[in-house]
Structure 1
Amino acid sequence: MTLTKEVKKKKQPKQGMLENVMKQFDAAAEMVQLNPNIKKILAVTNNELIIHFPVRMDNGEVEIFKGYRVQHNNALGPYKGGLRYHPTIDIDSVKALAMWMTWKTSLAGLPYGGAKGGIQMDPTKYSITELERITRRFTYALGENIGPEHDIPAPDVNTNAQTMAWIADTYMSTKAPSERSKNQHVVTGKPTGSGGLEGRDRATGFGVFLTIKYWAESKDIDLNGKRFIVQGFGNVGYWAAHFLETVGAKMVAVQDAFGTISNSEGLSVADLFEYTKDNKGSIVGFAGSTEVAKEDFFGLDCDICIPAALGNQITAENATQIKAFLIAEGANGPTTVEAEKILMDKGITIIPDILCNSGGVIGSYFEWLQNRNGELWELDEILAKIDKKIKEVFRKVSQTSEEKGIDMRSAAYFIAIQRIEKAYIQRGIFP
């Protein structure tokens, strides 16, 4: 009996992110009538790196870690994409994320390709000194596979400005003294004191807010009083919620790795953020909130849903429960293809990830330029630059969506893939 059950489970595996992104790509390639030869190129990654490296722990024991860096495509410029530290990372998920980065940078009109990487680990189980040694050893192992004009990592899930500072310092230390300052832009998302960009911490969440704002304006919808729920209360979720609150929207539920809380009267974004600082990052137990079962989160009553955690969170199983009229994808690939069909049948609009959360890579681009050109920009100026870029891209997607009678994701893919196809057609394929 037990054996039979195990066999059945294996026959019905959950759809992974790679399968999801490939379905999206195949549909988009057919829609734009992509050149078959270029489709072959874009369907695979350029390079896939898996690194096993040893690190000495605080207790003197050596632990072996597995790290990844996948470079999907660089037809438009250097590879660009984050590094995440998470136990669920595997080669397929990194390949999917790298491919999404290619579409995202292309859609945003940036001179970048797409990459992604990380380490298979739970960072909460290690001390700050161990995390530093793990990060520096991983950087050293990556060697010349990254570089300021070749492949530029950035923060992602469970990595931050400090992580980027360690990477930059390690990478620069491998260069001759006269060359070190020229390599500061090997990563973006650094602390401001180490060449980072003012406001880079809020860039992704700010972009999520802006896409919601511009969508609401295009539909003549007032965000004041609208209720929203957020999955993930890290940089992306927190800042998206922060900016939405400034225009009168009300956060009524939040879910993180520790639990789910709600309050139909609203949860203060600032107060919850301060509470998490003193509660080991957890939202659970926040005053005035009610705990909700994890599986009930997406079914909570709201107007706007912001999945800003991990991929494949909105599935065919929970999509039917969603009451929101708008889903703003703060995370990469949070909605499966099957779930999207259900949501579209229900008349729910989805602002796709490659548009919705592109504020982060746009901010990274400005940091890269700032380092490259030896400039220094003020916060207001940076937010204005991100706003201008997001507005421009949002209008292109909306216009394409209306002209072709397609949804926003299809429109975003249409623009992104055509830009890459044009580059290949103009340059040709060597030899």
Structure 2
Amino acid sequence: MNATIINNKKTGKKVAQGMMQNVLEQFNSAAEYIDLHRDIQKILKITNNEIVVHFPVKMDDGTVEVFTGYRVQHNNALGPYKGGLRYHPTVDIDAARALAMWMTWKTSLAGLPFGGGKGGIQLDPYKYSNAELERITRRFTYALGDNIGPEHDIPAPDVNTNSQTMAWIADTYMSSQLPAKRSNNQHVVTGKPDGIGGLEGRDRATGYGVYITIKKYLQNQNETLKNKTFIVQGFGNVGYWASKFLEDEGAVLIAVQDASATLYNSNGIEVNSLNDYNYINENRIAGFPHAEMIEKEEFFSINCNIIIPAALGNQITQENASGIKAKLIAEGANGPIDNEAEKILIANGVDIIPDILCNSGGVIASYFEWLQNRNGEHWSLDKTLVKLNQKLEESFNKVYTYSQEESIDMRKAAYCIAIKRIEKAYIQRGIFP
């Protein structure tokens, strides 16, 4: 199927444009601070490739729907494009552009041999059966064709996609290759089930990174997690695992918000109990009996120590930022705070662990899975968590130290470190004439 470029004007356009504006402003601020070479600024402000595909899929009732899928490849100066695929109504070309850029900074900051990419399909997956989602995923993979590949562009799970989605993609991709190449292309995606080359611990890696960066931050303040109260927006994979690791060290979850409800219990919400309820209730926390429902507008103003936005972008805005009482926000999601809100938060003394550091555990684990597949190895859960902890601590220490030395916030520090690494690659390689 032919790939074309379009300007998508469907659901979520305003949010996506806001995310794109945010990431460009963040980049420009850091680029000016480190006096980034002007020619490299020009390169990094735009994407390398933008793929949009339209593909028909037969539904269970025999009718045909046409879907739109996206894959934006921002930059590959450091290695193959890397980033998730999400299934959500807000997915469009602008959202994919912003998220792809964030992935470039995230992989660079983590010291990985990857660039940045992102994409997905504009749909609400809850409206489709499992069989329909499989056919949609396989047709999307076929439509992308050679635009993805184990040494070119490596997708991973994101919002509303999971290990099963990755298994369908891997199988479809390998089935389209020559027989001699099929066994060597398992690492076309990461986040696969462990039975087909997935990494033990990949499911919890992003949430683990949120937990580790919070813990490291508190250690630098001579504090611990014991009795710290926290709230989580989004109780999917990231929100659950971050909450579980934090609870295991004595922190107390007092509020959770998802699309179905906002729950609050000042005495604490038991994480596994909520997760069990969420599972049997088809990923909806509404109706959980051990917490009261409150208005969604009250969520971010709840009195707590730590806020973890682990849902979508632009959730904390100038309209609700001034009501925030927490002194630490750990960005489990990509771009959950818009730039105007961030100015308010910083002025109010709120520290922010930025997304490209805080939620980087997922892409670091993806790198481990990619290595495991390439080398024909199998890593244990203990080995994964030890190496993940080492990488996360190294990244956090670099960012925190730089922010203290330069007297700048952690987001700008993270961007400066990430961009400098890419700048070095361009200076050493040169620009192809």
Moved over 2 A (4+): 12-15
- CA offsets, 1:126-163, max 9 Å, x none? 00000000000000000000000000000000000000
Which residue number corresponds to residue 196 of structure 1? Answer: 198
Residue in structure 1 matching 2:304, options 297, 302, 307: 302
Query: 2:401 and 2:394 mapped to 1: Cα distance?
Result: 11
Query: 1:249 and 1:327 mapped to 2: Cα distance?
Result: 15
SS in structure 2 at match of 1:44: coil
Which residue number corresponds to residue 332 of structure 1? Answer: 334
Letter in 1 for 2:228: K
Letter in 2 for 1:184: Q
Query: 1:132 and 1:374 mapped to 2: Cα distance?
Result: 27
- Report the alpha carbon displacement of residue 14 of structure 1 after superposing the two structures with TM: 9.3
Letter in 2 for 1:277: Y
- Report the alpha carbon displacement of residue 90 of structure 1 after superposing the two structures with TM: 1.1
Which residue number corresponds to residue 320 of structure 2? Answer: 318
SS in structure 1 at match of 2:71: strand
Query: 2:128 and 2:286 mapped to 1: Cα distance?
Result: 22
- Report the alpha carbon displacement of residue 13 of structure 1 after superposing the two structures with TM: 9.0
Which residue number corresponds to residue 7 of structure 1? Answer: none
Query: 1:122 and 1:311 mapped to 2: Cα distance?
Result: 17
The answer to whether the aligner puts 1:263 opposite 2:265 as a matched pair is yes
Which residue number corresponds to residue 166 of structure 1? Answer: 168
- CA offsets, 1:273-328, max 9 Å, x none? 00011112111111121101111110011100000000000000000011111000
Query: 1:162 and 1:309 mapped to 2: Cα distance?
Result: 20
Q: CA RMSD in A?
A: 1.0
The answer to whether the aligner puts 1:286 opposite 2:312 as a matched pair is no
Letter in 1 for 2:431: I
Query: 1:187 and 1:288 mapped to 2: Cα distance?
Result: 39
- CA offsets, 1:376-430, max 9 Å, x none? 1110110111000000010000111011111100100000000000000000000
Query: 2:18 and 2:339 mapped to 1: Cα distance?
Result: 11
Query: 1:178 and 1:364 mapped to 2: Cα distance?
Result: 25
Equivalent pair of 2:16/2:92 in contact (CA under 8 Å): no
SS in structure 2 at match of 1:83: strand
Unaligned runs of 5+ in 1: 1-11
With structure 1 as the length reference, what TM-score do the two structures score? 0.97
Equivalent pair of 2:16/2:95 in contact (CA under 8 Å): no
Which residue number corresponds to residue 103 of structure 2? Answer: 101
- Report the alpha carbon displacement of residue 190 of structure 1 after superposing the two structures with TM: 0.1
- Report the alpha carbon displacement of residue 253 of structure 1 after superposing the two structures with TM: 0.1
SS in structure 2 at match of 1:182: coil
Equivalent pair of 2:16/2:94 in contact (CA under 8 Å): no
With structure 2 as the length reference, what TM-score do the two structures score? 0.96
- CA offsets, 1:49-97, max 9 Å, x none? 1111000000011100000000000000000000000001111011000
The answer to whether the aligner puts 1:58 opposite 2:45 as a matched pair is no
Which residue number corresponds to residue 229 of structure 1? Answer: 231
Residue in structure 1 matching 2:137, options 114, 135, 155: 135
Letter in 1 for 2:258: D
Which residue number corresponds to residue 209 of structure 1? Answer: 211
Query: 1:222 and 1:396 mapped to 2: Cα distance?
Result: 21
Query: 1:152 and 1:202 mapped to 2: Cα distance?
Result: 19
- Alpha carbons of structure 1 residues 13 and 157: separation in structure 2 relative to 1, 3 Å: closer
Residue in structure 1 matching 2:83, options 78, 81, 84: 81
Query: 1:427 and 1:309 mapped to 2: Cα distance?
Result: 38
Letter in 2 for 1:209: Y
The answer to whether the aligner puts 1:367 opposite 2:369 as a matched pair is yes
Which residue number corresponds to residue 352 of structure 1? Answer: 354
Letter in 1 for 2:22: N
SS in structure 2 at match of 1:16: helix
Q: Which moved more, 1:308-317 or 1:285-294?
A: 285-294
SS in structure 2 at match of 1:225: coil
Query: 2:75 and 2:291 mapped to 1: Cα distance?
Result: 45
Q: Percent identity?
A: 68
Query: 1:215 and 1:314 mapped to 2: Cα distance?
Result: 21
Query: 2:59 and 2:416 mapped to 1: Cα distance?
Result: 48
